[in-house]
Amino acid sequence: AVPGVLVTADAADVRALAALPEVRAVRPAVPKVVQNAGAVRLTGAARVWQRAGRYGDGMRVGIIDTGIDYTHADFGGPGTSAAYDAVDRTAPWTPTAKVVGGHDFAGDDYDADDPDRSTPAPDPNPLDCQGHGTHVAGTAAGYGVDRDGAPFTGDYRELTDARLDELRIGPGAAPKASLYALKVFGCEGSTSLTAQALDWALDPNGDGDFADHLDVVNLSLGSDFAAQDDPDALFVRKAVEHGVLVVASAGNGGDFYDVGGSPANTPEALAVANTRDAFALRDGVTVPGVGDRPGQYSRDYTGYGSLDLTAPVAAVADPANADGCDPIAQDLAGRVVWLEWDDVDATRRCGSGARADHAQAAGAVAALLSSTRDHFTAGIAGNAGIPVFQFTGTATREVRPALAAGSLRVRMTGALRDALPTTTPGLADTVTPSSSRGARGPVAAKPDVAAPGDTITSADVGTGDRGVGKGGTSMAAPHVAGIGALVREAHPDWTVEEVKAAVVNTAGGEVRSGDDHATGLPVAPMRVGAGRVDAASAVGADLLAMVVEHPGSVGVSFGPVAVPGPVREVRTVRVVNKSAAVRRVDLSYRAATAVPGTRVDVWPSTLVIEPGGTGEVDVVLRASPSELRKVADPTVVKRQAGAARQFLAETSGRVLLESGGTTLRVPVYAAPEPVADVRAEPVPPGGGPVAELRLRGRFLDQGDGDETYRSRVGAFQLQGTSDPLPDCGDGVRTGCAVNDSAKGGDLRYVGVASTAPVDRSDGALLAFGVVTWHDWVTLGAGNTPEVRLDTTGDGEDDYRVLVAKPQDATGAVVADVWLARTVRLSDGEVVDEQPVNGAHGDVDTNVMDSDVVVLPVRLKALGIDPAASSARLAYSVRTIGTYPAPGDEDGVVDRIGTPMSFDPLRPGYSVRVGGAVAVTHVAGPGTRLEVHRDRASLAADGSDRLLLLHHHNRSGARAEVVVPGG
């Protein structure tokens, strides 16, 4: 186990703890949030029962989640809501034949995000009070529930497709595996207790001997934009090292770069993306004269047990408030209100909760929401007071004529929750839009595989024998955990890496984009890994392939690849023959995304491997810098939130290993980028008011449109410098970096510039250049530069400018659009947003994987008139991050806290190219920087050096400090 303890304390106590000589390290615990019959058919789990006779017997599966409702029929319980209500949560529980063990680490009231409830108060009973863990456990290893509400006790071999469809709840993937309820969440909120549960899974009886470790643990939880060296990764790695297969949900952050988070991004974990199945058990409402129509009910309504209402439907009279996001003026007493729903997250005015509140306040007995989609990407919350139902896109179109005619009536009943079977064949093996685009480090690219996770019906907490439909990677991961248990049962002598390889290599279901598999585009590894899992092939695998350089990763990742000249990088894949026969293996590479100027080859093209033997193949990445173009993944949407999206050029695909009629896959990923080498020529001494800097070196100028790479330079008056942070360790607890990810927030230089000397319009900009000692991975998430400004001279900060992205009402990121967001501190109002580096994604400024960034803000937004003669201000700079040092201010990774002084209307240096000023300039062989000097301002500012930012240079060489003219 990992030698350590989890503590909850205020900042002062943490600093005191960190100072103790016995304490080697203190790391922040990043809070995590929660994230079947049709699925077991699609993935072949049912074939494993029918043909291989494997059901998970003897396997022990830990569900690290919200607990398990062991009274539910799906786990062999009494199967009544009364039995659930009768459980004394404060008394020790008695394990059952299915849920054979567990532990409560949290207590029902625990919530890591609420300071008043962030201290765990575990009770002796891991009973679920939220529902997520129960649903997850059923998907992994539930018995199944028959149509009469009794646990399924028949022969799983005899479960034909027709018999599966008769079940109220289908069996989990490993229906005879034993379950362990490891409760790390309270009844709501987040958790910081994942590490404790992983530690428990290594040694359930706590005797220090890991021989009793669990076989598989499922983590349907995570934190978006977390790093691969998140502290929880250490516990995942330790569990894998001692024989526990760790399966984790890839996250529901959507198709945004680096959103895939911890713990799924740990290289050794088996990370699972979310795909769709053709079958869904949907909610329904009855339209008199038309019939039952599918959709989804709101989550938060509390009266479904007795719901049965029939009422006329009325639209909101005010067309400007057709969505109900503003209070509704008309009287809706006794009626169901129709509200228009915007299916685009970035443009939706409000969520379902606000609409339900407004509808209820206007007297409505219920609300209906429209949709343009037949497959929902997320559920709706609503409120506790009235039921809210959202029609599918097809059902919306069917009932609109009656709505327009004023004749629409509906009947809403609790009996139609999860009761309407629907089949949409084209949806099978399409990626769920909310499934996270994965992490892309040099050790491992994520996710590893995909599995059905949309509209999955599994056990519903507290209902006794009922199921409920849920969707997300949380529902996909336990399906793979169950498959992992089947593989471990079939191959008890295999290592965890080999079990993972069997699941990854055989994930041969091709996943496509959109809502129709026939017309969609193939989806690359960064969304779905090797592909959709195939349980039968995984259990039957006798040939395995995995990368050599990074044990436990299985897939090949070159990560971000700098290309200053011709590049040739090699990774080796080991192929293991587990069969008793000689195997000939033919190898090839199939691209999913291609970048001009790159090539992936495999050598040799054929292996012959003896029984029990191994062979090796090289995966070779070649890149030619001048031929590279910034070409996006074809499935990437290039405009988001009304702006050109930032994106990466990615070379990815799968190594294919063909032998004996079967094909195995190993995912491959690289993000190649050409590198410039630009510098200013040495400057001769001189004292005039204008100096000239000429640029020299190797420039980028290739491609057209948004596929262009072109060198850019920004010029700033250097005002702040900072030494590198030491590593946190023995005796070093403050002012240090806790991990490599924190070093992306380690400040090096800070500079400032203004366009006002040339541009006196309301569009005049103040811009801050920020340089760190190391590249960041998740700018604006894991590491966020922030400038605090005092514009009034009273010593108090008035504004802050920070890197941010557009978000929805819940705080979730909705676009890969990096912004310099300016917030007025007196009231929290956002007064300005500018693209970082002065450009959106149609102009490459190398935002990702960099160590330099420019934060512009309009002077007018700061209350400064660009036409005035002077406006001296003070500012300080810091970086906010996920991984601050234990003894430092909460959330602050590094700071240059001494206020720096600057007058944007009379800057010490004003740098122009051809007489023009800008946040960044195109840099080429003939570029000359005209440096206009104001000696009085330089003296007042206390600085005389210039900071040049060469955005496309190599890491560590993007910042250059010069003294213009001596």
* Predicted pLDDT at 685: 63
Q: How do residues 927-949 score in pLDDT, each as one tens digit?
A: 999 999 999 999 999 999 999 99
Mean pLDDT across 154-177: 94
- The two most distant CA atoms of the chain are separated, in Å, by 93
The answer, yes or no, to whether residue 548 has pLDDT greater than 60, is yes
Q: Of 111, 123, 128, 132, which residue is the catalytic one?
A: 132
* Predicted pLDDT at 499: 99
Most confident of 160-169, 802-811, 915-924: 915-924
Which class in CATH covers the domain with range 542-674? mainly beta
Confidence of residue 15 (pLDDT cuts 50, 70, 90): low
Confidence of residue 887 (pLDDT cuts 50, 70, 90): confident
901 annotated active-site: no
The answer, yes or no, to whether residue 169 has pLDDT greater than 80, is yes
* Predicted pLDDT at 14: 58
When the pLDDT of each residue in the chain is averaged and rounded to a whole number, the result is 94
The answer, yes or no, to whether residue 34 has pLDDT greater than 60, is no
132 annotated active-site: yes
The span from the CA of 383 to the CA of 386, in Å, is 7
CATH number, domain 31-276+430-535, options 3.40.50.200, 3.40.190.10, 3.40.47.10, 3.40.50.2300: 3.40.50.200
Q: How far is CA 86 from the centre of its chain?
A: 39
The answer, yes or no, to whether residue 32 has pLDDT greater than 50, is no
Confidence of residue 581 (pLDDT cuts 50, 70, 90): very high
Q: Residue 939 is inside which H or E element, if any?
A: helix 935-941
* Predicted pLDDT at 29: 56
Write out the two tokens for 187: 């009844």
Q: What predicted TM-score, i.e. pTM, was given to this entire model?
A: 0.91
Write out the two tokens for 536: 């039968």
Give the whole-number percent of the chain exceeding pLDDT 90: 84
**Percentage helix, strand, coil for the chain under 3-state DSSP, each rounded to 5:** 20, 35, 50
Q: How do residues 625-663 score in pLDDT, each as one tens digit?
A: 999 999 999 999 999 999 999 999 999 999 999 999 999
Q: Of 474, 513, 910, 937, which residue is the catalytic one?
A: 474
* Predicted pLDDT at 33: 42
CA-based torsion, 210, 212, 217, 222: positive or negative = negative
Residue 927 contacts residue 918 (beta carbons within 8 Å): no
Reported residue count of the chain is 966
Answer yes or no: same fold for 279-423 and 542-674. no
Closest CA to 153 of 98, 101, 96: 98
* Predicted pLDDT at 730: 81
Q: How do residues 815-838 score in pLDDT, each as one tens digit?
A: 999 999 999 999 999 999 999 999
Q: Does residue 2 or residue 434 have the better pLDDT?
A: 434
Range with lowest mean pLDDT among 10-14, 650-654, 704-708: 10-14
The span from the CA of 960 to the CA of 679, in Å, is 7
The answer, yes or no, to whether residue 861 has pLDDT greater than 90, is yes
The answer, yes or no, to whether residue 494 has pLDDT greater than 80, is yes
CA 932 to each of CA 618, 909, 913, 965: distance values in angstroms, whole numbers, following the listed order: 55, 6, 11, 10
Closest CA to 800 of 818, 787, 809: 787
- Alpha helix locations (H) across 654-731? none
Confidence of residue 895 (pLDDT cuts 50, 70, 90): very high
- 279-423, CATH topology level: Glucose Oxidase; domain 1 (3.50.30)
Confidence of residue 107 (pLDDT cuts 50, 70, 90): very high
* Predicted pLDDT at 9: 56
Confidence of residue 236 (pLDDT cuts 50, 70, 90): very high
Q: Of 65, 146, 258, 277, which residue is the catalytic one?
A: 65
Confidence of residue 682 (pLDDT cuts 50, 70, 90): confident
The span from the CA of 466 to the CA of 459, in Å, is 6
> Residue ranges of the domains in the chain?
31-276+430-535, 279-423, 542-674, 705-903+947-952
Q: Determine the angle formed by the axes of helices 231-241 and 194-202, rounding to 10 degrees.
A: 10
